[in-house]
Structure 1
């Protein structure tokens, strides 16, 4: 009986096949509980986790063979999981927990608490949520009126109303210009519309997108009127602890613009 009780008390070994879940697990689970993470978290262009930390763990591409081979007690994933992986987990009686893409701060914090509870450490989820709220509170204290801003990804893709990026802009003292252009939740903004009604701050995600924008002669002529700044892609793809870095970056930009 003592052995059975000890087995029940042991924190679960978890495989994550979602990079956003990976980032949360790093903060709420013991390292020994993390049996595997998503291969995206070991990609310098995509990871929301310091690479030296991510590379301490086994990574999978989410295939049934890779996941089952790690013999986890549970698997935590995003909304999209290969049917073969789902079927394999059912055959092995391994629980699968799936989370949607968080579209707001409160939804992201709810996911943090759920992941922490699943890992057996609910108090760590509360601490991480408190750290996020503290960072948001600090960002709200950025001085000056709200500044019109836009996040521009490769190909002109823009996050609009109803996205986590939109809420992070707002709590950090910015007005997301997406609605002013008549864009939907996720939409593409043609360059001519941007030029006709430019924001005060244009955030570009990644060197390739930034170089393409800056190389256009029209934008070069507008450089005196528009502040163009980098916004690392890792700050756009996930909520969780990434929110802390995102609002800290946005608040710093807000203060910079206030001094101009």
Structure 2
């Protein structure tokens, strides 16, 4: 008799609403992004009508992570204040590490759903960010497709030979990305050896021009304003150095963001490496 009762209870649980799979959270329809790097992810995986606003940086040709710019211009922007977010009637806010704390606190007090993400330091970090954002906006399948596109670009950019070309990414003022950065991983995966560690630099550090001249890389990737050369390259000693090493332009928009930007970055790095190989033939 006891066995019959247990079986009956199990049967009731099987059809009970409480025992069914938890319902998926409602898909947000008024997403506001305050994260300029994740703007490019959002416009790739969200329905256009889900996006209420993106970061004002994404309308700036010098700072946008969205290519082509015309795609970014389709959406309204905010400068990152809580007042603007409220005015947009946001039901989800995507924030980055540089959003002002008073804005974050105001949104939390108002109970507006908030996703805070940092700066990805690896491809794996970026992949997790995409998956997390895609799940939050009800677009997991599109998130998987974007991650697959990034993986395909990395496979495509992988060099056929194993020799690593000594290289350095050099920004205005001598700032250099080192080990533990996304830029370092992308260099390695496209056939370059980041010389940052050879100079004894930290994750992000400044390399004086004297050290660069004493031990130059084979390739110097110059990060200047979009469409302009780094002003440090106009220094007489740098003009002389350019006769002995390859100096190539590297867009600043390729340096800090993950997501679709990884595709553009590895395509550019792969193009540079192929040009070096063709030149040596």
Residue 82 to residue 223, structure 1, CA distance change in 2 (3 Å):
closer
Task: Give the drift of 1:154.
Answer: 1.0
Aligned twin of 2:15 = none
- Which of residues 201, 217, 227 in structure 2 aligns to 1:183? 201
Is 1:85 paired with 2:109?
no
**Corresponding residue of 2:240:** 221
- Compute the displacement of 1:145 (Å): 1.6
For the residue of structure 2 that corresponds to 1:158, the secondary structure is: strand
- Which residue does the alignment assign to 2:7? none
Structure 1 residues 81 and 214: CA distance shift in structure 2, 3 A: closer
Aligned to 1:12: 29
Change (3 A) 1:11 1:56: same
1:157 alignment partner in structure 2? 175
* Shift in Å, 1:206: 1.8
Aligned to 1:230: 249
Work out which of the residue numbers 148, 159, 162 in structure 2 matches 1:130.
148
Pick aligned residue for 2:159 from 132, 135, 141: 141
Tell me how many residue pairs correspond in the alignment.
Answer: 253
Gaps of 5+ in 2: 1-24
In structure 2, the partner of 1:114 is 132
2:63 match: 46
C-alpha distance after superposition, 1:79-132 (max 9, x if no partner): 233233223322332111100110000010110011111110101110000000
User: Is 1:27 matched with 2:21?
Assistant: no
Distance 1:220 1:144, change over 3 A: farther
Q: For the Cα contact (< 8 Å) 1:156–1:188, is it kept in 2?
A: yes
Task: Check whether the contact 1:144–1:258 (CA below 8 A) recurs between aligned residues.
Answer: no
In structure 1, runs of 5+ residues without a counterpart are: 1-7
Q: Residue 169 of structure 2: SS of its match in structure 1?
A: strand
Larger Rg: 2
Conserved in 1, the CA contact under 8 Å of 2:119 and 2:256?
Answer: no
Single out whichever of 207-216 and 157-166 deviates more from structure 2: 207-216
SS in 1 for 2:217: coil
2-structure distance, mates of 1:223, 1:81:
40
| 8 Å CA contact retained: 1:14, 1:72 | yes
Give TM-score, length-normalised by structure 2.
Answer: 0.86
Query: Equivalents in 2 of 1:142, 1:65: separation in Å?
Result: 52
1:254/1:142 CA distance change after superposition, 3 Å:
farther
Distance in 2, matches of 1:207 and 1:100, equals 24
Which position in structure 1 is the counterpart of 2:278? 259
Aligned to 1:73: 91
C-alpha displacement of 1:211: 4.0
- Secondary structure in structure 2 of the residue aligned to 1:110: helix
Q: Aligned-residue CA RMSD in angstroms? A: 1.5
- TM-score normalised per structure 1: 0.93
Q: Would you say the 8 A contact 1:109–1:240 is kept in 2?
A: yes
- 2:114 matched residue in structure 1: 96
